[in-house]
Structure 1
Amino acid sequence: MAKGQRPAGSDKSAIITALPKACADELAAVEFIESLRWSETRPCCQRCGDTDVYKMTDRKTGQRNKRFLWKCNGCQKQYTVRVGTVMEDSRIPLRHWAYALWKACSSKKGVSALQIKRETGLTYKSALFMMHRIRFGMAEDWRGQQKLSGTVETDETYVGGKPRNKQSRPGPRILPHRKTPVVSLVERGGNIRSFVTVDVTADNVGQILAENVARESHLMTDSAGIYRHNSIHNYFASHGVTDHSRGQYAKPDGTHSNTVESAFSLLKRGIYGTFHNVSRKHQHRYVAEFDFRWNARKVDDGERLSRAIKSSVGKRLQYKEPLATLPPTPIQGTPF
């Protein structure tokens, strides 16, 4: 296979055709991931960036060595296609990575680590290790990117278990809330951006809107009190509201928030039906996974897989999670 060439041509469906073999044979999996990672550029050294590299081969057989190494003629360093991605330093065979990536990209409501465990023969710990890194690779950092514009819908939902300990007790009645709030912004005909936040207040949601939505946009929300705050209501070009408490879900002029509600339905069905239980510590990864599939909804599974592999480049998730990968916390001094 030539350098930078896709598995079986440039047709997107060729990726899907090559997947079954890549999920069963290690050499095929290595070449499959190499072809997708370097489909638009030449294979380059992951240490110095030099493109003067070559595949290392076994002296006796002339075939690729057992570790599928590349070597740079410049710095003389060795590396594999794993280096510089979420797969780096993982001993899980690449055929299992290819299969897990395929399932994560093609399953509309996600795939659990237990399902990957059953279908690959890995331990649950290894499957969970792999799936968390795939979700981390799918996550998009929206900081510094172009803001959403046009008509933008926003809403919030709560994901998690039900309130516990409702029995009557002396003194104030306290009902611990076990659900975690998620705020989502959807540009009609465009992308979605979702954020796991500590609480849903005018300050928190206002900060998210200010950082991710252009001021000349037309904001669409429900009648929640936080959106009636003057600093939010008057900040954008217009603010359309539908009152769900009165059975109003859409207006003749196109005012509605049904697009973001449909995205929430996929997230909820995935959490409740596929994963069953998601800890608050890792919930932002699952939300990022659903956002990735939503933003790639107009392409086929093969192209979605290609995007997931390219998105994983330059990312690394270690056992001790760095603070930079945690959900953002509210920042003081925002316009709202």
Structure 2
Amino acid sequence: MSLSDKIRRLKTEKGVTILAHYYQPLEVQKIADVMGDSLGLAKVAKNEINTPYILFAAVKFMAETASILNQDKVVLSPELRAGCPLSNFINPSVILEYKSQYPKAPLIVYVNTTAQTKAAADVCCTSSNALTIVKNVAKDWKTDNILFGPDKNLAAWVKQESGLNVIPVPPNGNCLVHNQFSIDHVHEARAAHPGAHLLCHPESPIEVLRQADYVGSTSGMIQYVETHDIPAGFILGTEIGLSDHLQDKYPSKKLFPLSSDAVCRNMKKITLEKILLVLESIGTPQESQFEVRVPAEIAEKAVKSIDTMMRYS
């Protein structure tokens, strides 16, 4: 029996729902019950899980979000060391510093943050709803000043699109994968694939986003590819896992990564072997070493920022 078949059998036997992000290795994507981006998986975790266990094939902050929203379930991670460097740019101490400078400004934090950071924020957001959230918060709070962290590039794009004074918290926060994209990458890709549409994730530098045919979240990029017939193909300015996913799903479409170096090493730490090990541990003393549980007092605060996000979305 293959690893994939063993995983499928065990997850059914032990009551496990496997959630996986699009940046996961393709073989991990194929054994998931639900695939999604940050917002899609957050909604699934909140509304659609009916098994006692959730196994999250992604970086740790996503498993934390599932725990925040499902305090009655056991959330497991195949690799607790799969962190997110972007999330490390902000914490409650950084938030207090900026709140003291801008006491009347609401603070919106990206979903790519720790549970403690979400608990200290006014509202959470994802790349797919950041612009909507910022506009609605500005309207409700009657202010043009918005504190936004930790991704400086997403903040710059939202500022450009909204016309509001979006203040990055801190000024240098970025995703290592998306921040590496440059105008040179754009020129090289367009020269190599004339006529192809360039789709970029808003965690990319603003000068790259201004060259794109479409700027959007992972799910938005998927929808663009699905609904557009572009014979020359699509250049994807995001982590290469999305290119792998779409090429597998639509083999007749032409898909090209903006850079073959756009690899999230932390996402790729998840493997079938590690997932199988977690499933085999369920019901044994070893199960606890894979659990991600956000303490109730932190979850209670963090869920408010997530619920506000859901309401504004």
- TM-score, structure 2 normalization: 0.29
Instruction: Point out the structure with the larger helix share.
Output: 2
Q: Which has the higher contact order (CA 8 A, sep 6+)?
A: 2
Structure whose CA Rg is larger:
1
- TM-score, structure 1 normalization: 0.28
